Amino acid sequence: KRKLVADLQQKKEQAEENLKKINQELKELGEALEKLSDDEKEQSATLKSLKEEADTMTRRLNAASQLIEGLGSERQRWTEDLEDMGEVKKRL
């Protein structure tokens, strides 16, 4: 009977030790999860900021392309005007 009590006492102590280890691991995992959650929020904010910046740059690039295209057609018009003025100058 005493041996049974001693065995049960030893099993209880082992179970308590295992519970203590499991609780410690759980605490560490909770802290790691919290840190990862914070990192994810930070990275999401950074991603949102970068997407907004990329959208702004795309709009600026499109505006610059339209300006360049517009100036290209103006160059053609100026070239034609210059040729016309050259002909007028010759006639004068």
pLDDT, tens digit, 9 for 90 and up, residues 5-15: 999 999 999 99
* pLDDT band at 30; cut points 50, 70, 90: very high
To the nearest whole number, what is the mean pLDDT of the chain? 93
pLDDT at 12: 96
What is the C-alpha separation between 9 and 11, in angstroms, rounded? 5
CA-to-CA distance for 90 and 85, rounded, in angstroms? 9
CA angle 63, 76, 68 (to 5 degrees): 15
Instruction: Write the pLDDT tens digit of every residue in 15-29.
Output: 999 999 999 999 999
CA torsion sign for 76, 82, 84, 90 is negative
Q: Is the pLDDT of residue 49 over 90?
A: yes
